[in-house]
Every structure is written in structure tokens, then in C-alpha cells.
Copies of this chain bind each other. A is one copy, B any other.
């Protein structure tokens, strides 16, 4: 699909945007069965804990990757725009910001904050995927680093599904627990609009457009691989890797043991 028109030369900015949105429609992690189980209320509490625990590491590394990105931006104008992301996640005083709000979610589902921040029980696959994202932003071109953030184009939809589904379906989830997501509904579109405008403006050659699309595919892989690992360890077949978090209510699929 994404190859249409490429032999003839670069895409128009509008066609590039359409191609980027198509990548999301095909690969964003709202399509993953773990997400579907999560918002449909079909997970046990321990499985939601595993999600919150692992996703904490992703949240905690977002300002790190944004700091690497900031460090590579050539103008104050770009850095001013991008630094709001760091402020959103780190807050402007103790007890504020996205990471703290994520910790409230983790506590709300019954995890001890020290255990969460230690990352002791993290799935290795989560660490590898998240670190791959940080390294990507640090090592690739600025265009690719910015394009890799474009999954935020698709996040308002998944957040809306997640919040309404989780509130409706889990007795242990309250609006306070999910406070992380409320500001994201306005932050993510603002951030995504900026990044999309940058990519449309700066990816003008066939090569740069291909690199931007590959960067977005890479980022979809980063998110998808995290849900694969959660699903495998905690849902089906439920094979927790050595050393990773084992929920109190964990139950491996009997077929997994037989394998």
C-alpha cells in the first residue's frame, strides 16, 4: 500500500500524512489482543498490575528520549516547542507530571511504589523495547527521531477506549487511578500536530519520506512488542520469564506447561 506513487518521486505532504496514518491503522497497538482484553475488562487484577508495572518503565524513559531529542535540535524555537514534553512528564514541582500520575495508576492497582521504580520485576522484553526507542532517538537523524513520536497521532482513540473500558469493567479502577490519561488527551494531539508538521515540512525526498515511515513503523513495533511480552507472560500461555513479576493471582495456561 505505502509503495503507491513512490517510483514516480516523493509524495506530497498530504499524501505523506495519509501514508503515515495508514501505518498507524495497520500497526498501532490498539489492534493488539492485550489492549482488547484490557479495555474489555477481561484481565485479572494481577494482569493489570503487570501492565502498569511494565508500562511504568516506558513512561519513565519518555523524558530521557525527549532530552536526547532536545539535545540534537539546532534552534531555540524547536527546543522551546519540544521541551514542553519533558515538562509534561517530569512536572514543575514534586508530585506533578505524567510519571507521578502513572505511579498513582500503579499504586491504584495495588503495586508498591518502590517495587515499581526499582524496575526489578520488569519483563526483559519491555526493557529491551523501551531502550531500543531511546537509542533510536539518540542515534538516528533528527527527522527519524521526530517521526518516531508520531504514534501520538493515534493515542487519543486508544486512551478514550482504555479509560471508558477500564472504568466500566474493573471494580478496582477509579477515575483517580486513571488521572494520567486526562491531560494526555490534549497534550498528545498538540505534540503530534507539531511533529507531523515538522515531518511534512522536512521529509521532501523519497529517501527522507521512506525513513520517516520506517521510523513510525519502528515505533509501532516498540509498542507492539511490549504487549506481545505482556500477553505471553501473563495471559496466554502465561510463561513468566525468570526473575520477572509474578502476580498473586497468576495462572499459567496448563498447555504451556505441557509444551
Q: A26-B242, A228-B229, A228-B241 are in contact. Are A124 and B33 (CB under 8 A)?
A: no
List residues of chain B with CB within 8 A of the CB of A224. Answer: 124, 241-242
Q: Is A125 an interface residue (CB 8 A)?
A: yes
Nearest Cβ in chain B — how far from A137, in angstroms? 13
The minimal Cβ–Cβ distance linking A42 to chain B, given in whole angstroms, is 8
User: Which residues on the B side are within 8 Å of A228 (C-beta)?
Assistant: 125, 229, 232-233, 239, 241
Residues of B within 8 A of A131 (CB): 128, 132, 135
The residues of B that contact A241 with a CB separation of less than 8 Å are 221, 224-225, 228
Q: How many residues belonging to A are interface residues under a CB distance threshold of 8 Å?
A: 36
Q: Is the CB of A247 closer than 8 A to any CB of chain B?
A: no
Contacts of A255 in B (CB 8 A): 236
Measured CB to CB, the residues of A under 8 A from B are 26-27, 33, 36-37, 123-125, 127-129, 131-132, 135, 217-218, 220-222, 224-225, 228-229, 231-233, 235-237, 239, 241-243, 255-256, 259
Known: A128-B129, A232-B232. A259 touches B225 (CB 8 A): no
> Is there contact, CB below 8 Å, between B256 and A124?
no
**Chain B residues near A127 (CB, 8 Å)?**
132
For the complex, what is the distance from the CA of A236 to the CA of B236, rounded to whole Å?
Answer: 8
- In Å, the complex CA distance between A27 and B129 comes to 20
A160 to chain B, nearest CB (A): 21
Instruction: Report chain B residues within 8 Å CB of A220.
Output: 242
- Sorted nearest first, the 3 A-B pairs with minimum C-beta distance are A124-B221, A128-B128, A33-B259
**A27-B242, A128-B129 given; 16 more Cβ-contact pairs under 8 Å:** A33-B256, A124-B129, A124-B222, A124-B225, A125-B128, A125-B228, A125-B229, A128-B222, A132-B132, A221-B243, A225-B241, A228-B229, A228-B233, A231-B232, A231-B239, A236-B255
CB distance from A133 to the nearest CB of B (A): 9
Smallest CB gap from A33: residue in B:
B259
